[in-house]
């Protein structure tokens, strides 16, 4: 099945850009943390995470993604069970939301890895029943399988993650292809549930939304957003120079090495630097969509689209938050933000896409 | 497959995804352009606001020297610990605990407020001074901490007795919290929180001092441990040290935190640091502007915790405060205090004042008001000393030389004498016969001699009559009959006196009824009594008897010892009222003269020189002629002129509905003596006052003699 793997089929350009972004991320993490004693070795840690991620990427690429079809249903069941476990015995970590499972002293957030399980499972379901998707029960089945975990995540509560899942799931369904009448029906019923959701929004979610829509009234909570805007704005065309941003170096920016790393880039490297970073990030998404177009089967195509959607969504939400275009959520900037699980999982996702790329349609012509 | 792509969403979705990719990119690029390029300058400015902080560098306060260059105050280095309101944690109302209070408690434990009693006391004192007694008591009470209270004399009010007696001062008692007991931690936390809340309204970045007077070692120890408490600041704040202690406290005054009531005023005058200490009394208050200097400023870069990273741009160095050189001679001041203190002890007099002035210029050479207090207690531990001061019925904080109003008695007689001579009521040879007491008919029963009002002279009590005397003799003997008659006239002999209007006019000319304008705060003055004033206050018209009493410095006339001295100096110098001045020169830190003392003549009283000479002769005779009332002030090496006074006063006792009297029914009296010397070319004029001290000639004259002896042997030897 995976005979004659050709190394030329690897999307080298995608890999190169990802590695550039990761290296760039390490230098920015250095700039954001080297003046803080407790964090001063974070750039080194990020480097280690990057090496682990790269190893994972290579292994993932060599692994034939089609084997995943077998793993999809059991892993989905496991995932749902984990979510139920979180719902019943979860740890709150003092945040007021029940997201973590304490497994032998280690805290695990199932929804992080769950994003990929969701992509793989949705891709499997949609490709497996591709021919029958125009029949309503199969579509409703897909929606039910999506909404089950979604509801559990929403109840944790974790609005950001729920929206991420909804976005990826919805996008996969659309890309897989449904009839237009089905689309209109779904849109209509989704709109009908909006009032219900507004009623169940948790207090902290409303607060964040209120801070976003009404910043003057939320001085203390708006502090971070405001400082991010000041940092970005102070960057100007060329920036204040790497490791010379006052907002960053004097710690007016909070969580600067993770959620607000884009503000650090904008402050220190200016409009030019921020635009270059954005271009590279969007290039990655573009390239992932290209892989999707070239995929040999529907499953591979949906996998690549899922990865593209995930990367795209995180870029938009994270950068949008830095630019005060969307409310604050804890989503990191792919490849750049500090964080082991975030970086490694993003690189694994790229590896998965590479696996699809290396086994593209060319085989059919042989 | 292509067919399907048209019928369902799979094809268009990929297209829409790519379109969304573009749109998102364009939107972000545009937003970045808007933030960084269009609004870049304003955000750059806000980033600079974040990182730069303007720091005020206090100027070293000017020091004070006496006339001969002896240092009276200096600045001692000391350290202060404060908390910065804006660096304290935000008290999240959603949580049970008060995060701000917890942090403050941590800070207080760090400095040892829970273990060291002295520290706890000082913190409470400092906040007591800052908040005032009312706010202090309320804050501690609301924190659920039991406070003990003590009664202290409060503000003084002039009380007019209902039965028509002379007006007098009374202190209204008020309750004050006892700060000599250490407060438990919750009370201190509440106080600091209150001070922080007030501090936030001013400038939240300015530290609120909670503990001061730390030495270098302790301060550094706290600074080292405070790294995890970002709100703690340790600053060097020099402490004012008064070398002379209670000898000069009424003159020098003291410093303290800006009182809450005056905060607005100081802010408008450019005091950007609400924690600055300012002069609250004495010269420290009057010359606050000169002594303070001009604070310097520097721009520093700070991180989010307010820690100084580096200095940026130009530094405006502080301009040191100006130094004061006083007219006061410390040695003379010491002798004045010693002499007065000894006599007060002997006579058990509760209060006493001595003031010395150069009658030719108005330069104040010394000013003693007893009891005094140690002004260092305001800078240092106040605790029990302060409570004692607050509780002292004699109110030692008041400078009675300028803040006490007393009947002047016979030391006032130079005024009616000069007036009568100038107005032609008498001339140098006019004699009036003292043949014993005189009587004024009762205005409602003019024909009943039983009800007539009797006026006696002091000598009648001793069985002496002075016979026919002229003005010089009258002054020398302090004969009251003479002054009754020139003041109010005497109907049986058809003698026309000065009368109320002339008496009041001349009294005012000699500086009574107006502030002397001395460069000290807290001066008071009574008004010169007249007909209209009496009608308004007592609903009675002025009587001849009132003129009689006024002419001998009794009745409604009240004056401060300094006013009496200024009028005496006018007699000595031939008729010029000078404004008394404590400060002789103001010099800058490098010794350059900034302001030189110039005598300020307020007015000339308008007495011809030859007539004034008669008044001077009267004062000469009182000291130098045999039988003069002030013979005890006569010196061998220098000619002294003087005038004694023994002023009756009424100390109202409500239970008896009468004034305090001795067993013979006589009122108690203040002892007065005014003098100047040398007679021909006066250098020094002196006023001595002992409250309830006895006869002026017996108690005040010896004090003056000791002072003058010292002056003319040690300071201006003959």
E runs forming strands in B250-380: 255-257, 277-279, 296-302, 308-316, 323-326, 352-357, 364-370
Q: What is the pLDDT of residue A231?
A: 92
B281: in domain: yes
A167 touches chain B (CB under 8 A): no
Q: How far is A241 from chain B (nearest CA, A)?
A: 14
B477: in domain: yes
Q: What is the pLDDT of residue A122?
A: 92
Is B342 in the same domain as B290?
no
B162: in domain: no
Which chain A residues have a beta carbon less than 8 Å from that of B304? 250-252
Is B457 in the same domain as B390?
yes
Q: What is the pLDDT of residue A205?
A: 66
Q: Which residues pair with B299 in a beta bridge?
A: B54, B312
| Domain count within chain B | 4
SS3 B680: coil
Quote the DSSP letter at residue B36.
I
B166: in domain: no
Is B450 in the same domain as B475?
yes
d(CA B308, CA B299): 10
B526: in domain: yes
Q: What is the pLDDT of residue B644?
A: 93
Contact B46 A309 (CB under 8 A): no
Q: Which of A7-16, A217-226, B612-621, B652-661 has the highest mean pLDDT?
A: B612-621
Whether the CB-CB separation of B110 and B161 falls below 8 Å is answered with: no
A255 touches chain B (CB under 8 A): no
Q: What is the pLDDT of residue A364?
A: 47
Is B591 in the same domain as B631?
yes
Q: Which residues pair with B576 in a beta bridge?
A: B604
Is B14 in the same domain as B62?
no
A330: in domain: yes
d(CA B132, CA A270): 53
Which chain A residues have a beta carbon less than 8 Å from that of B43? 229-230, 232-234
Residue A164's domain comprises: 7-365
Is B537 in the same domain as B668?
yes
A120: in domain: yes
d(CA B300, CA B310): 6
pLDDT category, A201, cuts 50, 70, 90?
low
Is B73 in the same domain as B202?
no
Interface predicted TM-score (ipTM):
0.90
Residue in this structure with the two tokens 């069970």, named with its chain if needed? A81
d(CA B511, CA A361): 116
| Cα dihedral A277, A279, A281, A283 sign | negative
Per-position b or e across B161-182, b if 16+ CB within 10 A of its CB: eeeeebebbeeeeeebbebbbb
Q: Which residues pair with B364 in a beta bridge?
A: B357
**pLDDT tens digit sequence for A293-305:** 988 889 999 999 9
Per-run averaged pLDDT (10 residues), chain B, 718 residues? 61 89 95 94 87 80 93 88 81 71 86 84 84 85 81 67 63 74 86 85 75 82 79 83 92 86 84 83 93 87 69 81 94 96 93 96 95 82 62 84 93 95 92 91 80 89 91 93 93 88 94 94 90 88 91 92 96 95 92 88 93 94 89 91 91 80 85 94 95 90 95 91
Residue B229's domain comprises: 78-145+183-237
A112: in domain: yes
Give percent above pLDDT 70 in chain A.
Answer: 87
Q: What is the pLDDT of residue A1?
A: 46
Quote the DSSP letter at residue B638.
S
* Helix, strand counts (H, E) of chain A: 14, 2
- CATH number for the domain that contains residue B408: 3.40.710.10
B515 touches chain A (CB under 8 A): no
Q: What is the pLDDT of residue B506?
A: 95
Contact A180 B9 (CB under 8 A): yes
Q: Which residues pair with B554 in a beta bridge?
A: none
Residue in this structure with the two tokens 């700060």, named with its chain if needed? B179
For A189, residues 6+ apart whose C-beta sits below 8 A from its C-beta are none
Is B286 in the same domain as B379?
no
d(CA B151, CA A56): 82
Residue A150 has pLDDT above 60, yes or no: yes
B402: in domain: yes
Which DSSP string corresponds to A223-263?
A: HHHHHHHHHHHHHTTT-S-TT--HHHHTT-SSSTTTTTHHH
A1: in domain: no
Is B219 in the same domain as B265?
no
E runs forming strands in A70-222: 101-103, 106-108
Which chain B residues have a beta carbon less than 8 Å from that of A274? 32, 36
Domain-ending residue, one of B278, B306, B326: B326
Is B486 in the same domain as B351?
yes
B361: in domain: yes
State the burial class of residue B243 (Cβ atoms within 10 Å of its Cβ: 0-12, 13-18, 19+).
Answer: middle
| Domain count within chain A | 1
A2: in domain: no
Q: Which of B21, B87, B95 to substitute to test the interface with A, most A CBs within 10 Å?
A: B21
Give how far Cα B549 sits from Cα of B409, B467, B659, Å.
9, 21, 17
Is B476 in the same domain as B526?
yes
A32: in domain: yes
Is B203 in the same domain as B266?
no
Q: Which residues pair with A102 in a beta bridge?
A: A107
**What radius of gyration do chain A's Cα atoms show?**
21
Contact A309 B17 (CB under 8 A): yes
Q: How far is B274 from chain A (nearest CA, A)?
A: 25
């Amino acid at each position: 099945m995976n005979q004659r793997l050709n190394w030329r089929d690897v999307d080298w350009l995608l890999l190169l850009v990802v590695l550039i972004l990761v290296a760039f991320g390490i230098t920015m993490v250095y700039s954001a943390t080297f003046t803080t004693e407790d964090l001063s070795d974070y750039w080194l840690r990020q480097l280690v995470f990057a090496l682990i991620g790269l190893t994972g990427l290579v292994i993932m690429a060599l692994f034939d993604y089609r084997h995943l079809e077998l793993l999809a249903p059991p892993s989905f069941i496991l995932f749902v069970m984990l979510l139920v476990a979180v719902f019943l015995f979860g740890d709150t970590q003092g945040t007021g939301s029940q997201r973590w499972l304490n497994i032998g002293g280690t805290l695990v957030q199932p929804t992080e890895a769950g994003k990929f399980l969701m992509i793989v499972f949705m891709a499997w379901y949609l490709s497996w029943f591709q021919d029958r998707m125009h029949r309503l029960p199969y579509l409703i089945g897909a929606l039910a399988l999506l909404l089950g975990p979604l509801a559990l995540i929403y109840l944790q509560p974790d609005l950001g993650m729920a929206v991420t899942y909804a976005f990826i799931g919805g996008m996969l369904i659309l890309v897989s292809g449904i009839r237009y009448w089905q689309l209109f029906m779904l849109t209509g019923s989704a709109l009908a549930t909006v009032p219900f959701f507004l009623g169940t929004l948790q207090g902290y979610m409303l607060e964040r939304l209120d801070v976003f829509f009404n910043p003057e009234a939320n001085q203390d909570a708006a502090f971070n957003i405001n400082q991010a805007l000041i940092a970005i704005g102070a960057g100007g065309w060329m920036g204040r120079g790497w490791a010379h941003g006052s907002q960053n170096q004097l710690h007016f920016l909070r969580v600067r090495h993770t959620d607000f790393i884009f503000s650090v880039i904008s402050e220190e490297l200016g409009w030019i630097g921020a635009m270059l970073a954005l271009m590279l990030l969007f290039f990655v998404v573009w390239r992932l969509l290209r892989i999707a177009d070239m995929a040999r089967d529907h499953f591979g195509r949906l996998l690549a689209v899922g990865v593209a959607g995930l990367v795209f969504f995180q870029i938009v939400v994270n950068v949008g938050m830095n630019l005060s275009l969307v409310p604050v959520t804890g989503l990191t900037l792919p490849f750049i933000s500090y964080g082991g699980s975030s970086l490694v999982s993003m690189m694994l996702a790229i590896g998965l896409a590479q696996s699809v790329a290396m086994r593209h349609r060319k085989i059919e012509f042989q | 497959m292509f067919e399907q792509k048209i019928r369902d969403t799979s094809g268009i979705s990929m297209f829409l995804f790519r379109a969304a990719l573009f749109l998102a990119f364009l939107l972000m690029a545009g937003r970045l352009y808007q933030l960084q390029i269009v609004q870049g300058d304003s955000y750059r400015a806000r980033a600079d606001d974040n990182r730069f902080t303007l720091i005020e560098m206090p100027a070293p306060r000017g020091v004070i020297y006496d006339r001969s260059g002896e240092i009276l105050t200096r600045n001692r280095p000391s350290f202060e610990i404060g908390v910065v309101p804006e660096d304290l944690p935000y008290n999240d109302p959603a949580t049970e605990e008060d995060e701000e209070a917890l942090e403050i408690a941590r800070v207080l434990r760090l400095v040892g407020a829970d273990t060291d009693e002295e520290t706890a006391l000082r913190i409470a004192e400092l906040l007591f001074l800052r908040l005032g007694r009312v706010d202090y008591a309320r804050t501690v009470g609301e924190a659920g901490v039991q406070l003990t209270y003590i009664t202290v004399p409060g503000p003084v009010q002039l009380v007019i007795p209902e039965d028509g007696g002379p007006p007098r001062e009374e202190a209204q008692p008020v309750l004050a919290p006892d700060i000599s007991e250490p407060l438990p931690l919750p009370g201190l936390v509440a106080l600091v929180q209150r001070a922080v809340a007030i501090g936030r309204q001013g400038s939240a970045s300015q530290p609120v001092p909670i503990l001061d007077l730390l030495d270098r070692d302790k301060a550094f120890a706290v600074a080292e441990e405070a790294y995890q408490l970002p709100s703690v600041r340790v600053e060097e704040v020099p402490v004012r040290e008064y070398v002379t202690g209670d000898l000069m406290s009424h003159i020098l005054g003291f410093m303290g935190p800006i009182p809450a009531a005056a905060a607005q005023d100081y802010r408008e005058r450019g005091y950007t640091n609400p924690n600055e200490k300012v002069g609250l009394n004495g010269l420290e208050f009057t010359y606050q502007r000169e002594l303070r200097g001009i604070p310097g400023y520097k721009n520093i870069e700070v991180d989010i915790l307010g820690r100084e990273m580096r200095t940026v741009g130009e530094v405006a160095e502080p301009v040191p405060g100006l130094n004061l050189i006083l007219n006061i001679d410390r040695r003379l001041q010491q002798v004045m205090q010693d002499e007065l203190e000894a006599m007060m002890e002997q006579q058990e007099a509760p209060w006493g004042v001595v003031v010395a002035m150069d009658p030719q210029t108005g330069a104040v050479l010394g000013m003693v008001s007893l009891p005094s207090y140690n002004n260092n207690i305001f800078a240092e531990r106040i605790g029990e000393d302060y409570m004692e001061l607050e509780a002292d019925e004699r109110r030692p904080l008041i400078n009675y030389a300028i803040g006490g109003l007393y009947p002047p008695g016979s030391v006032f007689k130079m005024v009616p004498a000069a007036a009568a001579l100038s107005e032609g009521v008498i001339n140098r040879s006019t004699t009036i016969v003292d043949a014993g007491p005189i009587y004024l008919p009762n205005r409602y029963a003019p024909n009943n001699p039983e009800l007539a009002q009797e006026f006696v002279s002091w000598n009648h009590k001793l069985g002496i009559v002075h016979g026919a005397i002229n003005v010089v003799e009258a002054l020398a003997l302090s004969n009251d009959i003479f002054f009754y008659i020139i003041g109010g006239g005497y109907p049986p002999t058809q003698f026309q006196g000065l009368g109320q209007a002339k008496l009041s006019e001349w009294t005012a000319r000699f500086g009574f009824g107006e502030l002397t304008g001395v460069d000290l705060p807290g001066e008071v003055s009574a008004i010169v009594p007249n007909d209209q004033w009496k009608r308004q206050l007592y609903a009675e018209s002025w009587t001849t008897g009132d003129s009689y009493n006024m002419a001998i410095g009794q009745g409604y006339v009240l004056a401060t010892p300094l006013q009496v001295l200024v009028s005496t100096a006018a007699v000595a110098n031939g008729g010029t009222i000078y404004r008394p001045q404590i400060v002789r020169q103001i010099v800058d830190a490098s010794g350059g003269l900034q302001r030189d003392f110039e005598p300020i003549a307020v007015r000339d009283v308008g007495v011809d020189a030859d007539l004034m000479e008669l008044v001077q002769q009267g004062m000469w005779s009182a000291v130098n002629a045999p039988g003069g009332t002030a013979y005890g002030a006569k010196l061998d090496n220098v000619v002294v002129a003087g005038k004694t006074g023994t002023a009756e006063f009424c100390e109202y006792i409500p239970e008896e509905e009468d004034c305090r009297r001795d067993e013979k029914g006589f009122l108690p009296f203040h002892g007065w003596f005014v003098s100047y010397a040398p007679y021909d070319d006066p250098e020094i004029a002196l006023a001595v006052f002992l409250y309830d001290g006895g006869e002026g000639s017996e108690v005040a004259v010896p004090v003056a003699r000791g002072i003058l002896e010292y002056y003319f042997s040690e300071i201006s030897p003959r």
